[in-house]
Amino acid sequence: MPLSQNSLNNGARWEVLWVRPKGGWARKAFDQDFSAALRTHNLLLLSGRKGVTLRSCNVGFPLPKRYEKKISRLNARGVYWCPYCITLRRFALDDYKRFMYCPVCDATTGNFHVRQTNPKATVIGYRRTRRVRVRRRVQRRTR
């Protein structure tokens, strides 16, 4: 499904993210005003800001047809389609190695839309160490 004005205004909330000059992320929310978000996105790109991303806060967009044949190979390399950033991103592994996530919008591989568009976006299972229950010896009282 190509991105059109009708599909973009279908209840999607938009925000623009970019990297501040001194470091850290800046974020500006636009609610459902896609045209203002796109205008701000383009202005930031023209001004030379780094890491400018237009993202949907609540609607996941499907994988474009041009990537459908390549997505399995890309997933094997750690590159996943982020349905909220609407772009291919190299997902990072979380600190506990339980799942992978988009470094920009924090969408994880456990998210429905991420799993729907990426065939190999399975949650990385982790084994919980089983605690061995220690039996306590109870001394019997003698009378």
Model confidence pLDDT, tens digit, residues 112-128: 898 888 888 764 444 44
What integer pLDDT is reported at residue 19 of this predicted model?
A: 92
Name the residue ranges covered by the structural domains of the chain: 1-59, 62-143
Q: What is the 3-state secondary structure (H, E, C) of 34-79?
A: HHHHHHHHHHHHHCCCCCCEEEECCCCCCCCHHHCCCHHHHHHCCE
Query: Do the beta carbons of residue 109 and residue 117 sit within 8 Å?
Result: no
Residue 50 and residue 100 in contact, taking contact as beta carbons nearer than 8 Å = no
Which H helix or E strand runs over 12? Answer: none
Going by their DSSP bridges, the two strands 87-90 and 79-82 should be labelled as antiparallel
The percentage of residues in the chain with a pLDDT greater than 90, rounded to a whole number, is 36
pLDDT at position 143 is: 63
pLDDT number for residue 8: 53
How much is the pLDDT for 128? 46
Q: What is the pLDDT of residues 93-105, one digit of tens each?
A: 888 767 888 988 8
Residue 108 bridge partners (DSSP): 101
Please report the pLDDT score of residue 134 as a whole number.
Answer: 61
Closest CA to 88 of 77, 75, 79, 101: 79
Is the pTM here over 0.75, yes or no? no
